Structure 1
Amino acid sequence: MRGIVKGVSASLQPKWLKNASLIPLSPSCSFCSQIIKSPSLLSLDNTADDWPSEEVGISSTKEISNSNSFDAKILHGRTIAEGIRSRIAREVRRMKESIGQVPGLGVIFVGQRRDSQTYVRNKAIASEEAGIKFKLVTLPENCAGYEICNVIHRFNADPSIHGILVQLPLPQFLLCICPEQHLDVAHILDVVTLEKDVDGFHPLNIANLAMRGMEPLFIPCTPKGCIELLLQSDVEIMGKKAVVIGRSNIVGLPTSLLLQRHHATVTILHPFTSNPQAVAREADILISAAGVPNLVRGNWLKPGAVVVDVGTNPIE
């Protein structure tokens, strides 16, 4: 099984991409390194898990510096994002000139959730700015699960669509009726062909994210953005204590997995965590992805902690 999964990346490249020397899929390629700072996960696995001897003690190893060495500063995510989009736009133009095609993104949006509307709108704007084809299919909140799957199948078969995104979370009403149709969220996401799973939620992509020595075809974008924000802001991750608030399949879980791949010591806070304030105060890096406004207070943080707020919460 290991050999099969490891060989997925090359075998699932679409034909037009196999013939294009301009943009290979490997995360370690020069194209990717020109756009983002995040290294390939496989390159991070080269760091051996060599535990120090009892005489030396973990606290004295050179790799783990004092957490008080952090300097407080603002992480300018908007500026970093604009730079990445600008570089992507240049590569898309080169791609169009070279092979006569541009990337295509198909998005499925169910219902009228306000934060999801914002996310979808921002994706449409970013795609337009980068020259990426953007196709949105909107379905009513009371649609049946098979209707979503039908749209996914159309996108799977469309050669002009290279990435498919089902905007999550899906409406609760849909989740209630889906079990009767044997269609839960996992089943719906599994319908997306692996090579077009740009959200990185396919079970194989998540599995490869979790396993050392493996490289997913795609990494969920919000966790990837958090890591890129930290790296481009020169925040050291290796050896640091990272606390992730929230354990959703969309953000919390993959963020914790990705931080672990970057050699942070990771703790997840969830609604059943005892004394979450005390746990949060241990964090060198704290990422809040709970979807609850005003959850993290100043007394949850130690001086110099790096804080990333992932959530978007409408406040009346």
Structure 2
Amino acid sequence: MPGGLVALLDDVSIIARTAAASIDDVAAAAGRAGSKTAGVIIDDAAVTPSYVTGLSPARELPIIWAITKGSFKNKLLFLLPGALLLSEFLPGAIILLLMMGGAYLSYEGAEKVMEKLGGAKHGKTVDDVIEDPVAFEKQRVSGAIRTDLILSAEIMAIVLNELSNEPIADTFLGRGLALAVVAIAVTVVVYGSVALIVKMDDVGLHLTKKPSEAAQAFGRMLLKGMPWLLKALSFIGTIAMLWVGGGIIVHGTHELGFDLLYDIAHGAEYAVKAAVDGMSGLLGWVTYAAISALIGLALGFILAILIHKVILRGKEAH
């Protein structure tokens, strides 16, 4: 009897060690793959604060929480199963879906640029009189979740691509676990950071009431700086949508055998790297990102004109 119990405990310990090793493998693979998504994560964090800018401070955290829940649903309920099924049965379709997402981001970014240049605004903004605040809030949340879906799809696709070189990716379950780890971690990091950013003015107000002069000075600095930071993030978010959208199109067309855009973007990147000595890597990347953004802007302008001048106007005429 003791021998049987000892043998059973040995078996249990072996299973436990094997499971622990698998968890370690998943975490390590997820970490390596997730690090490749840093650029898109920054884009996501830059875009989101614009959805609460100008709204009541009391509604900021509830709105961010609503977007966070939508992001979890995007990643875990829609994108994760879809990515796994596509990777298993139809891997060639992933690039086409990504390019559709890139086109959407380019359109969104170009539309914002057109509005800044004096074009017509599409949908209500915080500058308009909001007759139904509840409906307007829902509109903003749904818009943020749509944008998150595209950025999350890009994140999941990057992770899935990076996992192709990991041993854990040999199994369907391993890919799923690694994708889930990255999805949860990215969502927590992005929207946790956004919540901190948009509430920094409240922190500043709290500090101005402290007896310490240093705390009061820092609080006043936060109060003065936060509006500028939020405006800067809104600008960065627009650039980010164009950069990510254009980058997806550049790589997508290259994967499909059309190399012109890829050669232009990377050719300029390599030329800048060869022409400068210091910070060649950074300047080369900035060059590539700038060209990707211009490609996204051009595509977005074309799509915006087609949608608003042709498709929507045609519907109004009928």
TM-score by length of 1: 0.25
Identify the structure with the greater strand proportion.
Answer: 1
Larger radius of gyration: 2
Identify the structure with the greater helix proportion.
Answer: 2
TM-score by length of 2: 0.25
